[in-house]
Structure 1
Amino acid sequence: MTDEMTLGEIGFAGDDQVVPFQVEGLDARGRAVQLGPMLDAILARHDYPEPVARLLAEAVTLTVLLGTSLKFTGKFIVQTQGDGPVDMLVADFTTPDSLRAYARYDERALAEAVAQDLLEPQDLLGSGILAFTIDQGAHMQRYQGIVELNGSTLEEIARAYFRQSEQIPTEVRLAAAQLYGAGEGGEREHQWRAGGVVLQFLPESPERMRQADLPGGDLPEDVEEIDFEEDEEWLEAKALMETIADDELADPQVGSERLLYRLFHERGVRVFEPVAVRDSCSCSRDKIKAVLDGLEKEEIAESVEDGKISVKCEFCSANYTFDPSEFLE
């Protein structure tokens, strides 16, 4: 079992480090993370309005929690597409440690939502889908799992995905926050932070993992849904996860290891080597040029503005400029 003394001896992971853990007494394992400078750099680069930044922060947190569990070289992408003011969130994780992300939103629709105080996730995202994509490269088939955007939070939507697609009992907690302080010149500064925990029930006996079947649609009025008794240890694990406060998840004074100790020390929690994550975009001049090389001459001509072709990366905001003559020969 890992206790506070042991945690002090091995040190704390700190920000931007995903901490894998195992709770042997509950047959559960998972990952915890607190994001600081990496997340703040991504959000500050685009200067998103607060409601948009908060949503994207939670999407980034979910992505690094799941992406760092991959055991192969490839990508893990979390993307929402909806009809709300924030019509797209994308968080793109490339193994072993690189993440990039961006959000797309309608300024007028967002302003109307703010004016009407319609700032819950379901109000901002609207109806649509959340897609989890695993891409192992050109020679492997892409896998994509899709779940409907019908929960009030990304937490609930993620739980629905695991419930329907993975069939592994899973709990997810996510939270984002802004920390304010005084800068060197006395001006007010703020930093975005976020934290999250994913916990899965993985006993040796597969029968203990089994969950109640989801109905294939609306049940007839004269048919009752069958109650299903969940495993007692999983019920205990879920109850402990429900005690996590949002401010604990993002509080730098708490930290991932201390939070895990608070939750599970009576059941025996063991933490493993943390996995660092970093803000890193995979765009490059050569990749953009390869895309332009594949366009027809008419499309190239339409892309010319002020005698040049300018392309801006939606993720990192890098600008690439090309001479049209490179593609019109």
Structure 2
Amino acid sequence: MSEQAYTPAPAADFVLPFDVVGAGIRGRLVRLDGVSARALRAHALSEPAARTAGEMLALAALLGTALKLDGRLTAQTKSDGPLDLVAADYYGAEDGKLKGVRGFARLDETRPAPAAPSFAALVGAGSLAITIEPRRGGQTNQGIVALSSKGLAASAETYFQQSEQLPTLVRLAAAPVYTPGKPEPAWRAGGLMLQVTPETPQSNEDWERLAALAKTVEDIELVDIGLPAETLLWRLFNEEEVRVLPAEPIAFRCDCDGERIAAVLRSYSEEERAGLADPDGVLRARCEFCGRVHEIEKGRITNGE
């Protein structure tokens, strides 16, 4: 590890950028604890489904920070399996708010549950879409790749190969944490990304060596908040000079807003709105991401207030 002074990364809820000096290789390590627990507690998911949703949170954090995005990045799967939709949003830092993520997953209960809880059986065939929306104008960009039966990490590697044409390695993990007296677990998530820099020749022997080392990381190491991030990087690359950059804090963020919901409801017909309203004239809409219930008075919609 480089001897350059730096502040050690926190135990969790961060992305830690690093690069391998002289090799033209950069990387990022993400660990989520409170953030992933908050994001997933709003959803009633089976353990295999929650694991995939946790990995998607880690992936969104890796992608969003790697692209230095100031707007929003959405990573989303659509598929024909029981877990037919998994999504995570990453938000860049803005107006005093930390960088943040939120997530959502949907189980189609009309489809039979798989006998084996593998990613391929749970998700099935489909696509992974990465959508980038700049905050201050600019064009929205989207890349779509076929889902790999090997999982989200392999699908993300294909995305980078097609979009940036840069050799990229991605590892993702999520694990439940059980607490005595609580029936439902909290979830942790983690990930590692290694990538060749754009100016590095494609025939890079350093890449082959370092990618092989990165592939030895174990799932438990990615989610173990008791294992310092710097120690994990040393385990993986102890014969290399790794320069660790300042950790980037990640928070749970959801931009659901009552006015936005009201704006959507204004596009409904009066009959449709009447069917959604309670006897007291209040429409209640639950955010699929954070679980917050927004109460919208009917008059606020009809009057456009």
TM (norm. structure 1) is 0.83
**Which structure's residues are more often helix, by fraction?**
1
- How much does 1:300 deviate? 2.3
- The one-letter amino acid of 2:180's match is A
Q: Partner of 1:249 in structure 2? A: 222
Q: Partner of 2:231 in structure 1? A: 258
**1:100 matched to 2:98:** no
Distance in 2, matches of 1:72 and 1:239, equals: 29
Distance in 1, matches of 2:157 and 2:263, equals: 39
Checking the alignment, whether the CA contact within 8 Å between 1:300 and 1:327 is kept in structure 2 is no
Distance in 2, matches of 1:189 and 1:150, equals: 30
- How much does 1:308 deviate? 3.0
- Deviation by residue 1:142-164 (Cα, 9 ceiling, x = unmatched): 10000011332111111111122
Q: Where does structure 2 lack aligned partners over 5 or more consecutive residues?
A: 94-98
Checking the alignment, whether the CA contact within 8 Å between 2:169 and 2:193 is kept in structure 1 is yes
**1:41 matched to 2:38:** yes
User: Equivalences for 1:12-51 in 2 at 5 Å?
Assistant: 12-51=9-48
**1:293 matched to 2:266:** yes
Secondary structure (helix, strand or coil) at the match of 1:177 reads strand
Secondary structure (helix, strand or coil) at the match of 1:260 reads helix
The one of 194, 202, 222 aligned to 2:197: 202
Q: Partner of 2:145 in structure 1? A: 147
Distance in 1, matches of 2:127 and 2:272, equals: 31
Checking the alignment, whether the CA contact within 8 Å between 1:2 and 1:261 is kept in structure 2 is no
Checking the alignment, whether the CA contact within 8 Å between 1:18 and 1:64 is kept in structure 2 is yes
- How much does 1:195 deviate? 1.1
- How much does 1:312 deviate? 0.9
Superposed structure 1 runs of 4+ greater than 4 Å apart:
none
TM (norm. structure 2) is 0.90
Secondary structure (helix, strand or coil) at the match of 1:91 reads strand
Aligned residues: 297
User: Equivalences for 1:49-64 in 2 at 5 Å?
Assistant: 49-64=46-61
- The one-letter amino acid of 2:104's match is Y
- How much does 1:108 deviate? 4.6
- Deviation by residue 1:64-110 (Cα, 9 ceiling, x = unmatched): 01112333421011000001000101101111212111101113535
- Deviation by residue 1:2-23 (Cα, 9 ceiling, x = unmatched): 26xx78x733322001100011
Q: Partner of 1:172 in structure 2? A: 170
Structure 1 residues 313 and 177 mapped into 2: Cα distance closer, same or farther (>3 Å)? same
The one of 304, 318, 323 aligned to 2:292: 318
Checking the alignment, whether the CA contact within 8 Å between 2:71 and 2:136 is kept in structure 1 is no
Checking the alignment, whether the CA contact within 8 Å between 2:176 and 2:185 is kept in structure 1 is yes
Distance in 2, matches of 1:59 and 1:156, equals: 12
- How much does 1:320 deviate? 1.4
Structure 1 residues 272 and 294 mapped into 2: Cα distance closer, same or farther (>3 Å)? same
The one of 237, 246, 252 aligned to 1:273: 246
Distance in 2, matches of 1:188 and 1:82, equals: 30
Secondary structure (helix, strand or coil) at the match of 1:107 reads coil
Q: Partner of 1:234 in structure 2? A: 207
Q: Partner of 1:67 in structure 2? A: 64
Secondary structure (helix, strand or coil) at the match of 1:109 reads coil
Q: Partner of 2:78 in structure 1? A: 81
Distance in 1, matches of 2:68 and 2:222, equals: 26
- Deviation by residue 1:261-313 (Cα, 9 ceiling, x = unmatched): 11123110011111111112101212212222333334323433434321111
| Alignment RMSD | 2.2
Q: Where does structure 1 lack aligned partners over 5 or more consecutive residues?
A: 210-229
Q: Partner of 2:2 in structure 1? A: 2
Q: Partner of 1:157 in structure 2? A: 155
- The one-letter amino acid of 1:323's match is E
- How much does 1:138 deviate? 7.3
- The one-letter amino acid of 1:161's match is Y
Distance in 1, matches of 2:186 and 2:38, equals: 9
- Deviation by residue 1:189-225 (Cα, 9 ceiling, x = unmatched): 74311111111012644xx12xxxxxxxxxxxxxxxx
- The one-letter amino acid of 1:100's match is R
Distance in 2, matches of 1:28 and 1:157, equals: 21
